[in-house]
Structure 1
Amino acid sequence: MKKKYSLLLFLLMSIVVFGQEIEGRVLSNGEPLPYANVYISETNKGTSTDDNGYFKIEKLENGVYEVVASYTGFIPKKKEIRLENNTASVEFNLKRASSLDEVVITGTLKPVSRMETPVPVEVYKPAFFKKNPTANVFEALQNVNGVRPQLNCNICNTGDIHINGLEGPYTMVLIDGMPIVSGLSTVYGLSGIPNSLIERLEVVKGPASSLYGSEAVGGLINVITKEALYAPKLTVDAFGTTWGELNVDLGYKALLGEKTSFLLGANYFNYDQPIDNNNDNFTDLTLQHRISLFQKWNFKRKENRVFSLAARYFYEDRWGGEMQWTPEFRGGDEIYGESIYTSRWEFFGNYQLPFKEKMLFSFSYTDHDQNSVYGDEPYLAQQRIAFGQLTWDKEVNNHNLLFGAALRYNFYDDNTTATASDGENKPDEAAIPGIFVQDEIKFSKKQTLLAGLRYDYDKRHGSILTPRLAYKWSVTDNDILRLNAGTGFRVVNLFTEDHAALTGARDVIIEEELDPEQSYNVNINYLKKIYTGNDNFIGLDLSVWYTYFTNMILPDYDTNPNQIIYDNLDGHAVSTGVSANADIVFYNGLKMTLGATLMDVSQTENGERTRQMLTERFSGTWGVSYKIMPWNLNLDYTGNLYGPMRLPLLGDLDPRKEYSPVWSVQNIQFTYDGFKGFEIYGGVKNLLNWTPNRGNPFIIARAHDPFDKNVEYDPEGNVMATEENPYALTFDPSYVYGPNQGIRGFLGVRYRLD
């Protein structure tokens, strides 16, 4: 009997001691904030509010807790709660903030408020991309001002990211701060990142080589994934289009004990219905079958030291070509098709060393295998990149110091001239060590100076120094002026920098031993926050930049229409321009994001100045959102606008336009969120039904003769104009500046379980 009473007493004490809970509500101006994050500081206990703003954190011991409530676009709040054998209730009333107040890490490798960092960083949250849902990050960037996804082929639809008009190889893409998407993988690495696991995207425009090394010449994009503590237990996002596209995105979190949590994400995309609306017998959109699996582990350690591991596997089978193509024609010269099998592994993580000093070791490894054929031309390539970096963050008086040492190992091999020498295959293999130092000096509450210097050594090119300087002046609490100057460099990576080099349509000619490119950049940035009555807000972001390049490597299409000639520019190149962003929030729920960019990107060689190919003079982006509260209905209208670009013609007789017209892609979406945990959304993409074949006799040159069987050449190897070939053309799909996919409807559903 005593044992029974003892057991009963123990159970009652357990309920009292370990059954306490904190409940409450998160509001703003009296309205509930659904899906706000609520957590207890320095623990892994947290939750999200429901549709009515309520939350509950259970299984707590007696004690004093600091409870934090946060929500995207609002200023977080903390409250101290004492539990003594009771249930505590608490209410948070959050005030609206702007994106300018968010914490960023990309500009300085350290968490800092966007208003405080000397380096301009743009932040884009998942809510921004939900306004125009896409199947991958590559397409999602189409509504970011000054950033343009550039398609490089009308057939296989591969592409890269242009920042401020600079070609894709000048953009570095990071995942959680690790440079795992670069070189060969830039074309495919932005596909298949599960959108449900993305916390935010940070964009830096301008050279960042002093922190990140080679490739961060034009700018960088950092894809930051969620931590399990703040993620919902389950998310499902699936949508389809009237073209037959299907995209499914899954996210799942689990807590394994008190110290381990993990996120599991999966993305599946399928499109298998050939469509030829422009009647050239080629697919307008590449057929794709893609799957991506992502897992991230977070480990709780003493004194909140960081330890996380993540891995991703990506597989894709895509093809485009003549409508009659089937896999049995792969690699043959009967029916033309471009077929690409891609298999890719990524592994990366962060580990804070167990010292009193703030020392962090970051590492990543990627293995990319590609098996492709372009007509009857095979392209087989492997790329492996290993990266390790140790940083030491140290504060001394008014100096915030950062020391770092990095080692990057690159391996690349393919079956093209890029890795061939004297008839032998010689894979490109290099280890590039680097060290850097950064000193952020606070002269006063209003003035900060950041100075940085990086040294890298590449056995192919020798020593490379990249300094930078950044100055921030807080004119007022709502006015920030920044001045940034620095250099960037990029080691030679010819492979995949131009799709036309792989199609067999043109021969690749390397004129000389190529030297690394160097850039010099100056950027002036001004931020302004304006608060008006009734909780209205306007955020302005204005930037002016000038970048000067030496040793620039650009493909020459013009000298010989059957060749791509690579060499260092005997002269210089310049990118200059101005961009402006405006974030506007009205008290009635109307939100607007507006952006515009004017730029001039040119190259000067032998005293002759020419505009860079495939670079617009101006561009604009916009997003307008409004919620009809009584109907639980959200309306989103998004779009972009691009000015004329110089296009790659095949000769003087080529009848296609030398410059693209002004063109725009616009979208509208309706979202209903009146069901608990569910959102139903749908709308129309490309409302204007714009496609690049408008005003052109054709897009793909000699689509009827993709193997050039009926092309005749003169004794010098030049294409002859004949009755069958009056424009003296060869087959070429590189005349491309926008998607061939026209208007289409879409319908999707999202589910969230907290």
Structure 2
Amino acid sequence: MKNLILVLSLFIGSLSMGQTILKGTISTDGNPLPMANVVLKKMNKATITDENGKFEFKNLPLGNYDLHVSYTGLQSERASISLSDTTIVVVDFNLKANHSLDEVVVTGTLKPVTRLESAVPVEVYKPSFFKKNPTANVFDALQNVNGVRPQLNCNICNTGDIHINGLEGPYTLVLIDGMPIVSGLSTVYGLSGIPNSLLERIEIVKGPASSLYGSEAVGGLINIITKKPYSAPVFSADSFVTDWGEFNLDLGFKANVGKTASVLTGVNYFNYSNPIDNNHDNFTDVTLQDRVSVFQKWNFERKSKKLFSLAGRYFYEDRWGGELQWEKKYRGGDEVYGESIYTKRWELLGAYELPTVEKMLLSFSYTDHDQNSVYGNTPYLAQQRIGFGQLTWDKKLGTHDLLFGTALRYQYYNDNTPATIIEDINWIPSLFVQDEITFSDKHKILLGARYDYNKNHGNIFTPRFAYKWKVNDKNIIRFNTGTGFRIVNLFTEEHAALTGSRDVIVLETLKPERSYNANLNYLKKFHTKNGAFIGIETTAWYTYFTNSILPDYDTNPNQIIYKNLDGYAVTTGISTNVDMIFGNGLKLIVGATLMEVSKKENNIKTQQILTEKFSGTWAISYRVNPLFLDIDYTGNVYGPMRLPLLGDLDPRKDYSPTWSIQNIQFTFNKFKNIEIYTGIKNLLNWTPNKGNPFIIARASDPFDKNVQYDTEGNVQASADNPYALTFDPSYVYGPNQGIRSFFGVRYTLK
């Protein structure tokens, strides 16, 4: 009888083991997480999630278990599970961003490493940050990043660039997936064509990075990392409109192609076709735009599990600004003034991990940019092609984490300006090496150097040094120093050289810009007794330029003069970011920057034009759970900037006031997969014309038909021109767009 009972017990137990299943899905921000770690502590069993973020344990005995899930860069979570019968138990996890600042970054050292372990300070911004103030492109989205300022360079066509720590846009290198494809023409004409829909995250390094990335990375770099097809939602849509008539649409699609490939497609369309002239100068306050961008990224599954991805993007934009009565029939003429810009651009980039025992990665990109622009009756027709290939070898030897690399850059440029008599073709080969040495868990140094050869400027060498002292898990000190270099491409980068009536004077052959930089970074994080998290990061920096090519508006008000620096230039300052997260749903991200950007020539020190001495940003978010409502209050503030005047009689202010753009947004997310958001941009209704008699000089005579000159070419005051001015739209330091409301809807199908 006892034997019969024992046999029945074993039989019932085997049925229980065979039928008890523990499974679930792991996601983050609504997106499934493949390759997440799942550990069942009691059984010492572990697995990873599949491409859909799903996991499963079969044949589990009845009992209690601790289930732990983790994913690099996200907060780990655990759950206590009780299996008391033979049913299937489903447990889902939604991992949140790791507020311990332990995200994985790649930009600082060209290899994946957590922020805490990186010897180079890297700031990380995810789509959730940019959704607090929805914008149509990455250029506008960066307005709430501390120390980073999107700068408009023209009151009429609204082209712009991105300043980091006060340095002009050409000093900022913009990467997509680590490839330097946003440069030259695209720093002026292509930034508005990068849609937010393709963002996985943005990584920002402030300070020279030329030892890894070469020319243009003098002020810093911005790495736009795109979504991975396997982790993206199956379908997403985000669209908003404003009461100014702006319309933006982002669409995303994901599909599996067979068993070995997945593809993500993103489409962005933006349109603004409603001329508005609130400052009554007969010129459009905001440029009219019709823009489309199509992005596609492929990931290929290889048996070796090594990386292979391809991506491409096509961008087209038709934008114009000018007198309200302007039509396309006036394009290029001198009857009605307009600035009309057609941009066509396509990009290809990819990464292939070689099938070798050693970890070797081949990265490549190619861009083709066609620019057809007319500024009044001045045409600017330009073509630029950039090819880039890079091979890196990642090798660890004991305490040394080595990176060897070689790169080859092909540059083609041609335009219709006097600066380009014949097409410019250049091949730039490069070699670089980096050694990250770990002495202990607390101390690490990084040594790096890069060699480039440019046929016009010869051999260029850029070394780099970094030291990280991890005092403990909550206190980290980093010191970085290095050199930077940049080769100036005047007409591709300096929009002021093309628009307005100032004459462009290049006094001599422009040499490469050279700089020396040092910065000290301190990171502090702690949790309060009531469960709040606070992270504080402060960086002080000093950059010294032995040569800097800056436009001189002061010597002659009728000219923009370019020459090599006869002296030196300095940018120095301190910046602090504070992240605070409270248990009651309140989140605060606050940043402040103090800096001085100046040059000294002939013992005369001057502040750089269009550079603020202080700035601040904030994003305050609060979740009202009973109402399914998120409230986001974002904004920025900028101190006075020196502005380009046209002479002693110019009545406009020589310094801008302290100004601020503030926004509020309300997001309702009760319905599954749907978010409805609305709000107000520029709550204070601030525009730069306040306090000035006008912004655009001589808007009533844009072709200077009634300007009178003396025998030496100087503008003379007259009854029609009492301030002795010529037409000029370069007096711009902030957006002309006033207060406006917006309404949008997001839909995500996981």
Determine which of 574, 592, 595 is the counterpart of 2:591. 595
SS of match in other structure, 1:141: helix
Identity of aligned residues (%): 68
Partner of 1:290: 291
Structure 1 stretches lacking a partner, 5+ long: 1-18, 28-32, 49-55, 420-424
Does 2:743 match 1:743? no
User: What is the letter of the counterpart of residue 35 of structure 1?
Assistant: G
Measure the CA separation in 2 of the matches of 1:38 and 1:388: 31
TM-score (norm 1): 0.91
Question: Per the alignment, do residues 330 and 96 of structure 1 end up closer, same or farther by CA in structure 2, a change over 3 Å counting?
Answer: closer
Note the C-alpha offset of 1:100: 1.4
Question: Per the alignment, do residues 649 and 362 of structure 1 end up closer, same or farther by CA in structure 2, a change over 3 Å counting?
Answer: same
Deviations 1:644-672 (A, max 9, x none): 00000000110000000000000000000
Question: Per the alignment, do residues 282 and 455 of structure 1 end up closer, same or farther by CA in structure 2, a change over 3 Å counting?
Answer: same
TM-score (norm 2): 0.92
SS of match in other structure, 2:188: helix
Partner of 2:50: 45
Note the C-alpha offset of 1:259: 1.5
User: What is the letter of the counterpart of residue 414 of structure 1?
Assistant: D
Determine which of 677, 685, 688 is the counterpart of 2:684. 688
CA contact (8 A) 1:69 1:92 kept: no
User: What is the letter of the counterpart of residue 582 of structure 1?
Assistant: V
CA contact (8 A) 1:39 1:68 kept: no
SS of match in other structure, 1:230: coil
SS of match in other structure, 1:46: coil
Partner of 1:16: none
Measure the CA separation in 1 of the matches of 2:55 and 2:528: 37
SS of match in other structure, 1:304: coil
Partner of 1:14: none
Measure the CA separation in 2 of the matches of 1:659 and 1:112: 43
User: What is the letter of the counterpart of residue 212 of structure 1?
Assistant: Y
Does 2:365 match 1:369? no
Aligned residues: 713
Write out aligned runs for 1:547-586 (5 A): 547-586=543-582
Note the C-alpha offset of 1:158: 0.2
Does 2:721 match 1:725? yes
Measure the CA separation in 2 of the matches of 1:712 and 1:668: 49
Question: Per the alignment, do residues 77 and 448 of structure 1 end up closer, same or farther by CA in structure 2, a change over 3 Å counting?
Answer: farther
User: What is the letter of the counterpart of residue 725 of structure 2?
Assistant: L
Write out aligned runs for 1:443-458 (5 A): 443-458=439-454
Deviations 1:142-194 (A, max 9, x none): 00000000000000000000000000000000000000001111123222323
Measure the CA separation in 2 of the matches of 1:87 and 1:308: 37
Partner of 1:210: 211
Measure the CA separation in 1 of the matches of 2:307 and 2:58: 25
User: What is the letter of the counterpart of residue 690 of structure 1?
Assistant: W
Question: Per the alignment, do residues 156 and 86 of structure 1 end up closer, same or farther by CA in structure 2, a change over 3 Å counting?
Answer: same
Measure the CA separation in 2 of the matches of 1:620 and 1:252: 37
Partner of 2:657: 661
User: What is the letter of the counterpart of residue 46 of structure 1?
Assistant: E
Measure the CA separation in 2 of the matches of 1:599 and 1:138: 22
Note the C-alpha offset of 1:442: 0.1
CA contact (8 A) 2:33 2:49 kept: no
Question: Per the alignment, do residues 568 and 310 of structure 1 end up closer, same or farther by CA in structure 2, a change over 3 Å counting?
Answer: same
Q: Greater CA deviation, 741-750 or 178-187?
A: 178-187
Deviations 1:197-221 (A, max 9, x none): 2100000000000000000000000
Question: Per the alignment, do residues 78 and 71 of structure 1 end up closer, same or farther by CA in structure 2, a change over 3 Å counting?
Answer: farther
SS of match in other structure, 2:606: strand
Write out aligned runs for 1:626-637 (5 A): 626-637=622-633
CA contact (8 A) 1:641 1:662 kept: yes
Structure 2 stretches lacking a partner, 5+ long: 1-18, 37-46, 61-66
Note the C-alpha offset of 1:550: 1.2
Partner of 2:64: none
Partner of 2:222: 221
Partner of 1:407: 408
SS of match in other structure, 1:211: helix
Partner of 1:356: 357
Deviations 1:295-338 (A, max 9, x none): 00001113321100000000000000000001111011010000
Measure the CA separation in 1 of the matches of 2:29 and 2:609: 47
Note the C-alpha offset of 1:134: 0.3
Partner of 2:44: none
Question: Per the alignment, do residues 388 and 34 of structure 1 end up closer, same or farther by CA in structure 2, a change over 3 Å counting?
Answer: closer
Measure the CA separation in 1 of the matches of 2:249 and 2:559: 41
Measure the CA separation in 2 of the matches of 1:485 and 1:628: 45
Measure the CA separation in 2 of the matches of 1:318 and 1:194: 17
Note the C-alpha offset of 1:565: 1.2
Partner of 1:113: 114
Note the C-alpha offset of 1:78: 12
CA contact (8 A) 1:37 1:71 kept: no
Measure the CA separation in 1 of the matches of 2:308 and 2:21: 28
Note the C-alpha offset of 1:505: 1.6
Note the C-alpha offset of 1:61: 11
Measure the CA separation in 1 of the matches of 2:663 and 2:305: 44
Measure the CA separation in 1 of the matches of 2:525 and 2:192: 35
User: What is the letter of the counterpart of residue 315 of structure 2?
Assistant: F
User: What is the letter of the counterpart of residue 507 of structure 1?
Assistant: D
Measure the CA separation in 2 of the matches of 1:505 and 1:304: 58
Question: Per the alignment, do residues 548 and 303 of structure 1 end up closer, same or farther by CA in structure 2, a change over 3 Å counting?
Answer: same
SS of match in other structure, 1:39: coil
Write out aligned runs for 1:70-469 (5 A): 70=71, 74-75=75-76, 89-90=90-91, 92=93, 97-98=98-99, 100-419=101-420, 425-469=421-465
Question: Per the alignment, do residues 732 and 240 of structure 1 end up closer, same or farther by CA in structure 2, a change over 3 Å counting?
Answer: same
Question: Per the alignment, do residues 73 and 352 of structure 1 end up closer, same or farther by CA in structure 2, a change over 3 Å counting?
Answer: closer
Note the C-alpha offset of 1:723: 1.3
RMSD value over aligned CA atoms?
Answer: 2.4
Measure the CA separation in 2 of the matches of 1:77 and 1:346: 43
Question: Per the alignment, do residues 93 and 345 of structure 1 end up closer, same or farther by CA in structure 2, a change over 3 Å counting?
Answer: closer
SS of match in other structure, 2:233: coil
User: What is the letter of the counterpart of residue 562 of structure 2?
Assistant: Y
User: What is the letter of the counterpart of residue 343 of structure 1?
Assistant: K
Partner of 1:52: none
CA contact (8 A) 2:73 2:104 kept: no
SS of match in other structure, 1:496: helix
Partner of 1:8: none
Measure the CA separation in 2 of the matches of 1:44 and 1:717: 74
User: What is the letter of the counterpart of residue 24 of structure 1?
Assistant: G
